[in-house]
Structure 1
Amino acid sequence: MNQFMRIEGLEERLTELMEQEQAIYYLNQRLTVFVSLGNPTGRAQVHTFRGKRLSTIFQKIKTQLGERPSNYQWIKVDLAKNFQFCTFSELNARLQQTRKNYFRSGIAFDTRMECAFLEEELNGNAMLTPDPDHPDLRINLKNMTRYVELQQRSVPRMAFHPETRCITFETTSVFEEDGPVVLQMNTTAEKIRTYQQQHDLTFEITSVVQQAGRYLAKQVQQNGRFTYGYFPCFDKKIAYYNSLRHASTLYAMIEAYEVTPDIALRQAIERAKAYLIDELIVVQENRAYVVDWEPGEVKLGANAAAILALTQYMKTFQVTDDLDVCRQLATVILELQQVDGNFHHVLAYPDMTLKEAFRIVYYEGEATFALLRLYEQDRDERYLTAVVDAFDYFLEHEYWKYHDHWLSYSVNELTKHRPEDRYYTFGLQNVAPKLTFIHDRETTYPTFLELMLAAQDMIIRIQTQGRQALLENFPLEQLEQTIERRMHYQLNGFFYPEVAMYMKRPERILGSFYIRHHSFRVRIDDVEHNLSGYCQVLRSNRKEVELR
């Protein structure tokens, strides 16, 4: 499709939306359209056009684009609307009260919209962060000036003072990707691709799983070690490494391969698995330890994550090669368990003395889940007994109050072998009180979906066994609604090209998931938790089809 056909498609769709929506589009009797031109290798170029009619503006756009080489892969158009006036000091106060990178409006610093920025430009260039030269400001004038210079924009010289008039605005947005894609704002002020039909959402989730799996595959270097992550606004690589996250990311990659097989993904799995066994696991006698080399420690959760990755590998590829190392990893977990069923969390390496009795509750859910997954393949009763002892401790100390996704996985697995009311009740309590919080949560927080889907799987077993009395006070409808909401909402954390194009090096992070309030951070574990949750969605859909 040539560039003029692409532009005409965007114009047609934008015109339809403008006619359908009830919004204020004119400022000083002019419309304002932003055109963003992007490609994978660099930050998008953004151009501003103003005029009395949309057709006139698009004629200007076509003329200007015809004068430049068509070396852009992506086109996004934004029509400004719903303008609100405020002073510079009022804007700064509002920014100070907004979660980092969650300011979702564009800002203009003059009424002619000559010094105006889309919210993607503001957040993608860290312009709404504290200015080191002006600590009282949440508008980073240094970053803003640098961005204007890089864009080679002709912007009037601005002198900011408390009473300077500013304008915030929303946009109606259309992105061109093999045809126009509408980006709509929902009631929680997130810009998102909308999918009205369940079939469309399932298709999109399948595509997202494929892309995220390929992204992780590309992060596996030839030696099997991951490129750990990036802060994409300025393409800064994260140098730190974490053995637990290596193992848990490998686990998610194998899950992705199971639902969307891919040759490159399989090859990356093999490299990452070899690195785990050869470089991160140390075997001493009949014990195997996953070592974090930089801090010099062995973590309960890391041993558990390694078991989860290796048992998932054996299950998916129908082999038993890694059973011995799993047993050795499990031996360490069993030795970390105390008489009361609780676990010690961290050992110092290499002397293996106790470093921390407790670090984070996630480790205990991971440990019990891992022992149960190993029990499926190696019916050693010690593993099941250890989990039962651990749950005695969890029940006594009301661990359901942590609402931990690993405990949700674990209790779901345990009830397959011990379908006792106390375990089912624990699993229900682990999710029910958290549903309103999850539904309304502003951040994408991917483990919430994992928590709910594991609970949903357990509830299906409760119903199949005719034990509906356990569900008498459980909010089933709220669970279903919240799962549906989070399935859509988590897509806000996916690096679609229309978001990635405003970062310094889009190709680095396309197809990944990011954490908006951590400077759009992309880390392998940020991707893996989203991936695991969406893999569960696809597996659940397949089970429903099979049941029909």
Structure 2
Amino acid sequence: MKNKKHKYLMPFALAAGLIAILILITGLYHKQTPTQDSQIATAYRTASDDLKQAILSEISQDAYNILKNNQCAVFLSYSNGNYLPTVRHAVGKNISNAWDDIDNQIEQAIQDSEFQVKYLKCDIVSETNETSFEQLREEIANNYSGRCHYGIAFDKKFDIALLEQECNHYRIFDKSTNNVLLSKTNAYLAAQTGQELESMPSNITTFKCESWLYEIESGEITKLSSQDANYGIRDFELNKNNLATIIATSGYYLRNNIDEYGKFVYAFWPQDRDSATNYSTVRHIDALLALEQYYELTSDSLTQDAIRRGIEFLFDYILKFDNASYVRCTDEDESPDEIRMGGAGLLLTVLSEYERLFGDNRYQDLLNSIANGIIKQTQPNGHTTHVLNLDLTTKRDYWTEYYDGEIIIGLCNAYNITGNQDYLDTAMRITEYCLNNNYATTGDHWFVNATNELTKILPNEVKYYHAGLLAVARQAETINQSTEDPTKLEQLMGAFEIYNRAIENHIAIPDEFDITLVLSQIQTQSESLLNNYMFPEKAMYSPCISDIIGAFYTEEYDGWKIRIDMIQHHLSGYYKLYCNYELIQKLCT
């Protein structure tokens, strides 16, 4: 089924009592007049009929009669966009029979509410597998995030069954024990349907579905993917317009989640509506980089002020010693009483980009002072002390290879703004140290993009081209082993830009570097990362759908998490893909 149109909204376990309260709130239990009741029920029935007819125009009534007694199972999830969705399911002799049963349930549920259905999702069970509870536990154990890739029916009749999204998003799995929690399962069941399991059965049925989403306000009906790689989300062509949508919505999330003092909502767990109380200043700077890229694409008029507030929030974390300044770093896990030179490098890039984008040099004194601090901590051989105590004594001589790349990029950007040769010379010296000490063999995204920046400034220096290209080539066989790490796309896009510049400047490409493989990996990574994007069909299982549509998230042992640096890495990788879209298409044809 083809989409009627592509339209995306701007951003956009628990104890039994909490889940029950959240879902009961969904009903907005305010009694309405009979006329209003009738209007609400009629609006729902119209939407339901529209979705059913659209589906049945593509498949037959008995296309998925795969259950016992030649029956089918249908799930309908509905949400008004502000609260947890309500999910109902039924088994019937065909799709319409099961659907009508669910309609009756839903209409009864909304008769006493002012609930206006905004999203309606249909899941039809298309594949089942009878398995043991122990096998399910093994699958959970093999997933870092403790998630299951199937829905679960707790009996053969499908009397009690949960969609994959319900299982994962309400965290009925406990990663610490690789178990399904009976208490959380029953709390969720009680809130949704009033059902309860006496105990976890020894045998269960896992299932997958064919799914459709109806966004009622826009009139868009979307067939969701049933393929493993993007199961449960829409088929989304990564053309230039859609890339722009991804960048715009995720950037909007950042811009919309920075307060009047310039502080971001650092991390957010939408299932609990819970925000982190700790903070990382380094990741704060990461997020400002993403906001600058967002502005460059959208020219959003409110973004300059948001970036300015974010920069000035950091003033309380700047330590000045004569003509040199440093960034005091707080972190969610580490002691705040230290100076991290990687943060200084990132801040140089933010300040340089601010001046380039807005023609405003108000922060140039700070930029020069931060650059001087880096130079003072760089030895003649290019080694930079990574972490300092607040009195500038060494705390950690080496912390992470990321810092060197971040520092080189920052110095290159500062050189572009100021023309100060000391900044470029220091960047080159640090790069030489990295090359002499085999830092590049791991080819992290910051180092590859650092060599990319150097080739822009020094287009005839072959060693910088080769350093970045070989760093990626030597990881060629392992990059696609991880398809949920956004830094891989950043790394690959840095290598692509180096390659393209090498061709333009008639620089020989190392034999180890395979551009065909890199283009294939860019496609794989960019498509796989869509699983981390909050499409409506994912966000609707959150109690705050309108707040999170268009953001990027990670799915970890403690549930969905939207964190500012993860948005930055996704946005930056897609932004580079957007900027190079025509060149990539030309090479791929």
**Counterpart in the other structure of 1:540:** 580
Cα displacement string for residues 180-203 of structure 1 (whole angstroms, at most 9, x for unaligned residues): 11221334364332135x5xx322
The alignment's TM-score, normalised by the length of structure 2, stands at: 0.85
Q: Partners in 2 of 1:206 and 1:42 — Cα distance?
A: 28
SS at match of 1:56: helix
**Counterpart in the other structure of 2:67:** 26
Q: Partners in 2 of 1:388 and 1:47 — Cα distance?
A: 62
1:17–1:291 CA distance, 2 compared to 1 (3 A): farther
Q: Partners in 2 of 1:78 and 1:375 — Cα distance?
A: 55
Name the stretch that deviates more: 402-411 or 21-30: 21-30
Q: Partners in 1 of 2:351 and 2:256 — Cα distance?
A: 20
Q: Partners in 2 of 1:342 and 1:191 — Cα distance?
A: 48
Which amino acid counterpart does residue 167 of structure 1 have in structure 2?
T
Cα displacement string for residues 116-165 of structure 1 (whole angstroms, at most 9, x for unaligned residues): 1111111101112247xxx4x521222212212222x132543335xx22
1:142–1:65 CA distance, 2 compared to 1 (3 A): closer
**Counterpart in the other structure of 1:289:** 326
Confirm or deny: 8 A CA contact 1:3 1:70 kept in the other structure: no
Q: Partners in 1 of 2:450 and 2:423 — Cα distance?
A: 13
SS at match of 1:188: helix
Give 2:301's match in structure 1, choosing from 242, 255, 263.
Answer: 263
Q: Partners in 2 of 1:27 and 1:466 — Cα distance?
A: 67
Q: Partners in 2 of 1:126 and 1:42 — Cα distance?
A: 17
1:315–1:544 CA distance, 2 compared to 1 (3 A): farther
SS at match of 1:273: helix
The alignment status of 1:327 with 2:372, answered yes or no, reads no
Which amino acid counterpart does residue 140 of structure 1 have in structure 2?
L
Which amino acid counterpart does residue 385 of structure 1 have in structure 2?
D
Confirm or deny: 8 A CA contact 1:130 1:140 kept in the other structure: no
The alignment status of 1:110 with 2:148, answered yes or no, reads no
**Counterpart in the other structure of 1:279:** 316
Confirm or deny: 8 A CA contact 1:114 1:155 kept in the other structure: no
**Counterpart in the other structure of 1:91:** 136
The alignment status of 1:233 with 2:271, answered yes or no, reads yes
| Unaligned segments of structure 1, at least 5 residues | none
**Counterpart in the other structure of 2:403:** 363
**Counterpart in the other structure of 1:523:** 563
Cα displacement string for residues 484-537 of structure 1 (whole angstroms, at most 9, x for unaligned residues): 122221111011222122234334433211112353221111111111111112
Cα displacement string for residues 237-258 of structure 1 (whole angstroms, at most 9, x for unaligned residues): 1111111111121111011110
**Counterpart in the other structure of 2:235:** 194
Which amino acid counterpart does residue 481 of structure 1 have in structure 2?
S
- How do 1:20-419 and structure 2 match up within 5 A? 25-67=66-108, 68=110, 69-130=114-175, 135=177, 137-151=178-192, 153-155=193-195, 157-160=197-200, 164-177=202-215, 178=218, 179-188=220-229, 190-196=231-237, 201-276=239-314, 278-292=315-329, 295-349=336-390, 351-418=391-458, 419=460
Which amino acid counterpart does residue 511 of structure 1 have in structure 2?
G
Confirm or deny: 8 A CA contact 2:446 2:491 kept in the other structure: yes
Give 2:532's match in structure 1, choosing from 493, 497, 506.
Answer: 493
**Counterpart in the other structure of 1:503:** 542
How many matched pairs?
A: 533
Q: Partners in 1 of 2:556 and 2:563 — Cα distance?
A: 13
Confirm or deny: 8 A CA contact 1:9 1:180 kept in the other structure: no
Confirm or deny: 8 A CA contact 2:190 2:196 kept in the other structure: no
Name the stretch that deviates more: 16-25 or 261-270: 16-25
Q: Partners in 1 of 2:138 and 2:182 — Cα distance?
A: 16
Which amino acid counterpart does residue 517 of structure 2 have in structure 1?
Q
Q: What displacement does 1:71 show? A: 2.2
Q: Partners in 2 of 1:193 and 1:256 — Cα distance?
A: 24
Q: Partners in 2 of 1:546 and 1:107 — Cα distance?
A: 45
Which amino acid counterpart does residue 273 of structure 1 have in structure 2?
I
**Counterpart in the other structure of 1:3:** 44
Cα displacement string for residues 293-340 of structure 1 (whole angstroms, at most 9, x for unaligned residues): 561111101111111111111111122222211110011111111232
Q: Partners in 1 of 2:378 and 2:387 — Cα distance?
A: 12
Confirm or deny: 8 A CA contact 2:186 2:197 kept in the other structure: no
Confirm or deny: 8 A CA contact 1:235 1:505 kept in the other structure: yes
Confirm or deny: 8 A CA contact 1:24 1:82 kept in the other structure: no
